[in-house]
Structure 1
Amino acid sequence: MRTILKQLFVKYCIFFFAIIFSQNFVAQRLTATDTSEKSVRRYQNVINNNKQLVRFIEYSFTQRGIPKHMRNLAIIESNLDKSQISAAGASGIWQFMIGHANDYGLTESNRADMYKSTKAVTNSLINLYNKYKNWVTVVAAYNCGEGNVNKAMQRAGSKNYTDFNSFLPVETQNHVQKYLNACYATGELNAVLQDYYKTSFKVKETTSKPTVDVKKFKENTLKNRAKIDLLETTINGAYRLDVILKYLKVERIQFLKWNPEMEKNLIQKGETILVLPRNLMDIFTINKYKILTESLKK
């Protein structure tokens, strides 16, 4: 009798852990969960009813190296309805919160401007992709913020979305799933998954070097000259060089001596370190919002 009970116990344990393993395996697999004809038709109808806006979004994205499928983020955010306002106060087709909008030069009212908000979101998405290296995590960070994503990564001990997603808000997990469903409907799910799996599960990550070595710059360019107190700050791709120069009233050649890779970084990375003497940094800081607003109009 004891032997039979022991055998039953062992079989039960094997069955129990098999179920747990199976559930975890399924949970870790990225895929569309709603492939019904109704779901596919719903996403496709939103695109077909807003063809002009979709073309503008796709053109703006491809010009900056963002894949067309990221247009689906606006679909799950607002169904491309510029008058959409969330319970939390997010507005427009990209559902910008006021603070996020201000970071990219959008006024509160401009969040509903389809063209200005799309230009702003382009810079935001590039910044997020440069940090997380795949569009799935970008969608998560866009929804719940970089802080929540970084905390989830720390708790999971991994930077792979399939490892840390259970530590994210349920709303964000559902948001990412909606995005995968939308990409299935537009025939782009494989592209999303290829991008994710080619950048995930890396043992080592390369450490990016700072854009400007301020110490080396001082040593090489300020020899035999009065010492200049240089300061630095980080700016995103919403800023335009010509507008910065206009407000600082400094020659382009001199400015690029302080920031030799600025234009390249703003285009390719979506952000850069801005290095200026203290007096010019004060001017930049005072006029920062004006520079952002004018840059966005270009």
Structure 2
Amino acid sequence: MKSIFFKFFSFFVVIFINFNCLAQDLSATDTSERSVKRYQNIINTNKQLVRFIEYSFISRGIPKHMRNLAIIESSLDQSQVSAAGAAGVWQFMTGHANDYGLTETDRSDMFKSTKAVTNSLINLYNKYHNWVTVVAAYNCGEGNINRAIQKAGSKNYTDFRSFLPTETQNHVQKYLNACYATGELDAVLSDYYKTSPTKESVSKKPTVDYEKFKANTLKNQDKIDLVETSINGAFQIDAILRYISVDKTQFLKWNPDIEKNLGEKGESVLILPREMMDKFTINKYRILTESLKK
């Protein structure tokens, strides 16, 4: 009788523990007063910078809680340089910075780097559809995220996180802790559970309607030799036009939805005649640098 009782007791304990683990799958792990005060003090001593970041984000549809990414990246210290060489409030690595038009010194410029990170975050959100995965991708790169998704066979962060570097998993946890401290954890989790798909086979879906752009290319192929490439939201149309020497009306005939896609999706296909595309490619980083000055 005693052994039967212990078997049932053990069974319910296991169920309770498993349920508890599932319920706490994404949560703050440090809710101590010390932790909460540390995050709040960083915000209170950098109010001007925090207001600038929040305004920049809200104006582009990014939630305010993403300001906490800068807190865990650098504690809002503009002069911080990591052992790996990441610099500034947003801890841009050189390669990532170049993708969004930042020079080495621009990485420590809070205005230019915040403008660049806004485009980067929009781009990531449109690929992964929740801010938890965005934080992970910002830390370890899209390549690591995509490989983890493939290994797990799921796009849910909680399913594929074990395939990510330990540093990245810890980084996401710090973000959740920071959001608890700022009273925004519920908003983060609501976004995650609302947008995370059920476990499913993974397929790559483009965030831009490539077929529409390809159809546009083919429609004009008999008139001119058009080619295409992808650009992110850091590019300004006016800056592109100055370097490829074409008027905006003609440019928009080749790229009718480019402004909408860059603004809403953070990326777009760019279609140009081959000679103009060569000019764009040669001057790509000059265009990016000029775009950031606007």
Q: Does 2:145 align with 1:149?
A: yes
Aligned residues: 291
Q: Specify the alignment match of 1:174 in structure 2.
A: 170
2:76 and 2:89 in contact (8 A); partners too: yes
- For the 8 Å contact 1:262–1:272, the answer to whether it is kept is yes
2:37 matched to 1:33?
Answer: no
Which residue does 1:228 correspond to in 2?
A: 224
CA distance in structure 2 between the partners assigned to 1:153 and 1:288 by the alignment: 31
Q: Secondary structure at the match of 1:101?
A: helix
Structure 1 residue 47, shift from structure 2 partner? 0.3
2:76 is paired with a residue whose SS is: coil
Aligned equivalent of 1:91, options 80, 87, 92:
87
- C-alpha offsets along residues 41-78 of structure 1, whole Å, 9 cap, x if unaligned? 10000000000000000000001000000000000000
In 2: Cα distance, 1:71 partner to 1:264 partner = 25
Q: Which structure 1 segments of 5+ residues have no match?
A: none
- State the 1:227 CA deviation: 3.7
Q: Could you tell me which residue of structure 2 aligns to residue 210 of structure 1?
A: 209
CA 182–281 in structure 1, closer or farther in 2 if over 3 Å, else same = same
Partner of 2:265: 269
Give 1:15 deviation, angstroms. 7.7
Contact in 1 for aligned 2:82/2:91 (Cα 8 Å)? yes
Q: Give how far 1:25 is off.
A: 2.7
Aligned letter for 1:160? N
Q: In 2, are the aligned partners of 1:231 and 1:277 still within 8 Å (CA)?
A: yes
* TM-score w.r.t. length of structure 2: 0.91
Identity of aligned residues (%): 68
What SS class does the counterpart of residue 213 from structure 1 fall into? helix
Partner of 2:135 in structure 1? 139
Runs of 4+, deviation exceeding 6 Å: 7-13, 203-206
CA shift digits 1:138-159 (9 cap, x unpaired): 0000001111111111111110
Q: Give how far 1:107 is off.
A: 0.2
Aligned partners of 1:211 and 1:261 also within 8 Å: no
1:165 and 2:164 are equivalent in the alignment: no
RMSD of Structure 2 on Structure 1 (CA): 2.5
Distance 1:72 1:241, change over 3 A: same
Provide the rounded CA distance (Å) in 1 between the counterparts of 2:253 and 2:280: 17
What is the Cα deviation at residue 129 of structure 1?
A: 0.2
Deviation at 1:163, TM superposition (A): 0.9
* Alignment check: 8 A CA contact 2:208 2:261 kept: no
2:133 & 2:125 partners in 1: Cα distance? 8
| Letter in structure 1 aligned against 2:99 | D
Question: 5+ residue gaps in structure 2?
Answer: none
Taking the aligned partners of 1:97 and 1:279, their CA distance within structure 2 comes to 32
Structure-1 residue corresponding to 2:73: 77
The answer (yes or no) to whether the contact 1:33–1:177 under 8 Å persists in 2 is yes
Shift of 1:198: 0.4
Q: Note if contact 1:76-1:178 (Cα within 8 Å) is conserved in structure 2.
A: yes
Whether contact under 8 Å (2:217, 2:227) holds in the other structure is: no
Could you tell me how far 1:216 is from its partner in structure 2? 2.7
Q: Is the 8 A contact 1:238 1:292 kept in 2?
A: yes
Report whether the alignment pairs 1:246 with 2:242.
yes
Deviations 1:82-107 (A, max 9, x none): 11111111000000000000000000
Larger of the two Rg values belongs to structure: 1
TM-superposed CA distance for 1:4, in Å, is 9.8
